[in-house]
Amino acid sequence: MRNTIAVAKGDGIGPEIMDAVINIFDAAAVPLDFKFVDMGKHIFEQGNSTGMTLDAKNTIENLGILFKGPMETPKGKGMKSLNVTARKVWNTYANKRTFISLNGVDTVFSKAGIPIDITIVRENIEDTYGGIEHMLTPDVALCRRFITRPGSLQVHKYAFDMARKKGARKVTCGHKANIMKLTDGLFLECFYEVAKDYPEIEVNDVIVDDLAMKLVVRPTDFDVVVLTNLQGDIISDLCAGLVGGLGFAPSANIGDNISIFEAVHGTAPDITGMNIANPTSLLLSGIMMLRHLGHFSQATQIENALLYTLEQGAHTGDFGSKQTPSLSTTQFAQEIINNLGNIPAKGAKTNIMPNQEVYTSPALPTQNKMTYSSPPETTEIIGADFFIESIEQPKQIAAKIDTLLGTDFALSTMSNRGTQVYPTGSVFTECINQFRVRLEKTGNQQLSQTDILNLSAKVAQQFKICSIEWLMAYDGKKAYSLAQGQ
């Protein structure tokens, strides 16, 4: 079955490596037709803040597959990253990157005879990548971090389904739930909830800083690793370093309706137009795309040709033996084409076709899909955290707050940058000009949003309020964190 896909060549070296990959696809008779779309830096520079034309957006949404080269977002102009925007707008909730040792690509581990085979699954649309930021005071910047139950369940289910299809032995959850007990805690809780449906797969979890160390010291301990967005971004680049760099790191952004396959390295403006860029990362991403579309035989043939080419010592200037001449981008691609049908001595791929439905372009939705969990049986407002601007001492702030409160609320704690400074604290705690003041109800009364808003009007008589967060309890369980030292 032939498929038509959207192709964005990208910026910098993007057109050079994309042309090389498409030439390889054509030589292998891959049943694809290409619809080229306008995205990237030149669209930004035309005044389009989205970085893509309306025609490009419509084409991608109709076809459901985007194959893209590296793209640049102009710096210092307030524009959002096109790469992040595309992943979020089209709900490509799982980023999959595979890191495998390649013969011909020397690393510390290949020289030691330690094979790397790790798949990182990164939650792709939540976390700090929402880019929701505010200056609360001239000295204090806030970034909101969203981790949701539906989003966490979605990416974990993808990770386990993918692990089952590839015959993975273990799935590991990387997290920082020891510090971010609610956000990473929710992500970890959802991991073990989903894991119950995959009893044949071993599971464990590792704190992300410990994970980083263990991946470098004992990478063979890991098979599939699933992480939140920012942590997954960092760990993915770490794993790229294990196999030779981002030039050998394929990437797939998977959604229920639209999926994006891309090179994750930069646009390399310093070598643009020189025909020396390494197309391997984009080619490996394209091979992942072919398997996603169901073109397994062509994917296997191209991958084996690449592996054979690398095994024979062919290389571009960024890797390989200095004793043999480097090939240009087009020469390297031609070597792969010449080797179509050859099988590498080590690491050969077999044409295994997993149980997968034939890919069809998505039906266009008519409205936004809403995802949510079952509501709790009880919901209760306990009070509120008021984030205020002040350069007064904690005791002075507390005294002013007390004059504003009646009998329904009490000041339970005050913190600065998360560390408690009232009613107990240390004079060694250095403060900035923004405090979190926690006001909680004193009795069993039922609070409403109006009660909190009325309370905020009183607080505003004495302080500038930067932000307010409700203190909630769901099914009797407090849904907010304590201050450090509380």
Q: Count CB atoms within 10 A of the CB of residue 227.
A: 29
Straight-line distance from the first to the last Cα atom of the chain, in angstroms, rounded to the nearest whole number: 63
Q: Within this chain, do residues 165 and 84 fall inside the same structural domain, yes or no? A: no
Q: Could you list the residue range(s) of the whole structural domain that residue 204 is in?
A: 93-254
C-alpha distances (whole Å) from 149 to each of 185, 187, 454 are 11, 7, 31
Q: Within this chain, do residues 101 and 239 fall inside the same structural domain, yes or no? A: yes
Residue among 425, 429, 437 at smallest CA distance from 462: 437
Which of 353, 373, 393 terminates a domain? The answer is 373
Q: Give a yes or no: residue 295 inside a domain.
A: no
Write the CB contacts of 113 (distance below 8 Å, at least 6 apart in sequence). none
Q: Give a yes or no: residue 48 inside a domain.
A: yes
| pTM given for the model | 0.92
Q: Give a yes or no: residue 438 inside a domain.
A: yes
Collapse the DSSP code of 314 into the 3-class scheme (helix H, G, I; strand E, B; otherwise coil) and give the result.
Answer: coil
Residue 187: the pLDDT is: 98
DSSP 8-state class, residue 484:
B
The CATH number of the domain holding residue 195 is 3.40.718.10
Q: Could you tell me which residues are beta bridge partners of residue 440? A: 383, 410
Q: What are phi and psi of 484, to 5 degrees?
A: -65, 125
Say if CB 484 and CB 415 are below 8 A apart.
Answer: yes
Q: Within this chain, do residues 183 and 106 fall inside the same structural domain, yes or no? A: yes
pLDDT in tens, 348-403: 888 766 555 567 777 888 899 898 888 999 999 999 999 999 999 999 999 999 99
DSSP 8-state class, residue 436:
E
Residue 76: the pLDDT is: 55
Nearest 5°: the CA angle 338, 260, 255 is 135
Q: Could you tell me which residues are beta bridge partners of residue 413? A: 438
Q: Which amino acid is at 112?
A: A
C-alpha distances (whole Å) from 135 to each of 45, 329, 390 are 27, 46, 15
Q: Which amino acid is at 181?
A: K
Residue 364: the pLDDT is: 82
Residue among 173, 171, 166, 209 at smallest CA distance from 189: 173
Q: Give a yes or no: residue 9 inside a domain.
A: yes
The CATH number of the domain holding residue 424 is 3.30.70.1570
Q: Does the CA dihedral 163-164-169-170 come out positive or negative?
A: positive
Q: Could you tell me which residues are beta bridge partners of residue 416? A: 419
Q: What are phi and psi of 40, to 5 degrees?
A: 115, -165
Q: Give a yes or no: residue 227 inside a domain.
A: yes
Tell me how many domains the chain contains.
3
Which of 373, 393, 412 terminates a domain? The answer is 373
Peptide bond between residue 423 and the one before it cis (omega within 30 degrees of 0): yes
Q: Within this chain, do residues 215 and 109 fall inside the same structural domain, yes or no? A: yes
Q: Give a yes or no: residue 219 inside a domain.
A: yes
Cα separation, 135 vs 142, whole angstroms:
6
Q: Within this chain, do residues 128 and 241 fall inside the same structural domain, yes or no? A: yes
Q: Within this chain, do residues 350 and 418 fall inside the same structural domain, yes or no? A: no
Cα separation, 382 vs 396, whole angstroms:
25
Q: Give a yes or no: residue 394 inside a domain.
A: yes
Q: Does the CA dihedral 80-83-89-93 come out positive or negative?
A: negative
Mean pLDDT of successive 10-residue segments in the chain (486 residues)?
94 97 98 95 84 92 95 70 86 96 92 94 93 93 95 97 94 97 97 98 98 97 98 97 94 95 93 96 97 94 97 94 94 98 91 66 85 91 97 97 92 95 95 97 94 96 96 94 79
Cα separation, 209 vs 402, whole angstroms:
42
Residue 338: the pLDDT is: 98
Q: Within this chain, do residues 75 and 160 fall inside the same structural domain, yes or no? A: no
Q: Give a yes or no: residue 290 inside a domain.
A: no
Cα separation, 485 vs 482, whole angstroms:
8
Q: Within this chain, do residues 108 and 225 fall inside the same structural domain, yes or no? A: yes
Q: Within this chain, do residues 225 and 347 fall inside the same structural domain, yes or no? A: no
Q: Within this chain, do residues 393 and 412 fall inside the same structural domain, yes or no? A: yes
Q: Within this chain, do residues 130 and 87 fall inside the same structural domain, yes or no? A: no
Which of 254, 275, 291 terminates a domain? The answer is 254
Q: Within this chain, do residues 124 and 243 fall inside the same structural domain, yes or no? A: yes
